[in-house]
Amino acid sequence: MDSYSKTTATSWFSNFMGSLSGIIIGPLLFIAAVIGLYFVEGQINYAKLAKNAPVFAAAENNPNAAQYPLVAINGTVALETTLGDGSYLIPQKYLMYEKRTEIYAWEETKSSSTINDSYGKTITRDTVTYSQTWTTNPRPSKSFEHPEGHENPAPLVNPITSGTQAIFKLGTYTVSTNSLELPVPKPLQLSPATVTVQAPSLIADNAIYTFINAKSSPDKPQIGDIRTTYSVLCPDQQNATVFGRVEGSNISVALLNEISSNLSSEGTFKRLFLSSPREAVATMNSEYAQKLRWGRFITFFVMFLGLLMLLSPFSTFLSIIPIIGGLAGMAVFATALLVAALCFGLTLILFNVMLAPFYVLAILMSLIGLLTWFLKRKHVETT
């Protein structure tokens, strides 16, 4: 590991002029956060669609299944052909595989630390660190700040490849993998039974290593060495559930606008789960909740960052006086955080109301009902 550091000083005037850009960039980030939050709140919860889908057993072809725009077919997967990659992977009954090839190369990491002196000047210490790591996409050495002694090999061609069988059987049904969302493949345990490896390549640490010289080893690789791993999906003879639309003896994509008129006409739904329908719905619900949490967190952070940049000129201007500058910085941070939380909450409520007109109608009907009941009661009391 190699490190290089340099220290620079920025005057108060330069800091202040630089902070003025936040007056333009800050509002743009805030608007981007609002737009992003709209799409986050408007994403489809497939668990709700799947929960209402009728479940049919794959053991027999039920003609009633074709009447529904979305169904869940549960049964046993049968793979009738094998799948390999023509390289190391021995053809077996895999539904899909993913081959990941990495090369040992230099990686550049940058870090920075800053301190402010008593005159509003900023002292910045920038550090560039070079370490060796496995990567699918090594950076060209010419893009490094210090390319000397950190020469990287040429990038790999197609470092990540995959293959998928065209069709498989689910009980009496045929399922095409076209437009089918598959589960995440699991790492393949490499052995002479699953891969064919010839010298100078070897298997170690559940990976295939190809070394460039005799000094290399799995524990001490050299720049340019190659490591290959596999992940596979092997559901043969396992219980599975496919969500889609039945057309004869085939399971095809379900159209979202046929499931609900409120959904996009371009959206489709066709997905495989290696579990029961109930467990599949729980998985989708968990995925939706996680994407919602992360989406809200990211948009809130961008909103806060935009407000912080918008207010930063005030704290930067006052930083020429050390005590006042420090207090101003804390005040700007707290103000940006408070305003971001308030704006985020109001925007969240607004978008949920816009995206759920049913709730608006329910509230209005409740208010009308309450007002009607109150007027009738007053009328009875007066008579």
On whether the CB atoms of residues 203 and 191 are closer than 8 A, the answer is yes
Buried b (16+ CB within 10 A) or exposed e, 275-307: bebeebbebbbeebeeeeeebbeebbebbbbbb
Place of tokens 């069988």: 165
Handedness of CA 11, 17, 22, 25 (dihedral sign): negative
C-alpha 145 chain-centroid distance: 31
Q: What's the CA gap between 31 and 48, in Å, rounded? A: 30
- Number of Cβ within a 10 Å radius of residue 42: 11
- 92 beta partners: 83
Give the model's pLDDT for residue 30. Answer: 92
Give the model's pLDDT for residue 364. Answer: 62
Q: What's the CA gap between 381 and 169, in Å, rounded? A: 72
- The model's pTM is 0.78
Closest CA to 29 of 290, 343, 348: 343
pLDDT per residue, tens digit, the chain (383 aa), is 788 877 777 776 777 777 788 888 989 999 999 999 989 988 889 999 999 999 999 999 999 999 999 999 999 999 999 999 999 999 999 999 999 999 999 999 988 887 776 566 778 888 999 999 999 999 999 999 899 989 999 999 899 999 999 999 999 999 999 999 999 999 999 999 999 998 889 999 999 999 988 889 999 999 999 999 999 999 999 999 999 999 999 999 999 989 988 787 778 999 999 999 999 999 999 999 999 999 999 999 999 999 988 888 887 777 777 667 667 778 888 888 999 998 888 888 877 766 555 555 555 676 677 777 767 765 665 55
Q: Which residues have a Cβ under 8 Å from the Cβ of 51 and sit 6 or more positions away? A: 281
Q: Which residues have a Cβ under 8 Å from the Cβ of 11 and sit 6 or more positions away? A: 120, 121
CA-to-CA separations, 138 to 8, 50, 211, 226, in angstroms, rounded: 29, 42, 17, 12
Give the model's pLDDT for residue 119. Answer: 61
Closest CA to 322 of 122, 159, 182: 122
**Count helices and strands in the chain by DSSP H and E runs:** 7, 17
C-alpha 246 chain-centroid distance: 30
Closest CA to 21 of 334, 306, 300: 306
On whether the CB atoms of residues 129 and 5 are closer than 8 A, the answer is no
Helix (H/G/I), strand (E/B), else coil: 259: helix
- Number of Cβ within a 10 Å radius of residue 269: 23
What's the token pair of residue 268?
A: 């489709």
On whether the CB atoms of residues 211 and 197 are closer than 8 A, the answer is no
Query: What element of type H or E holds 167?
Result: strand 167-170
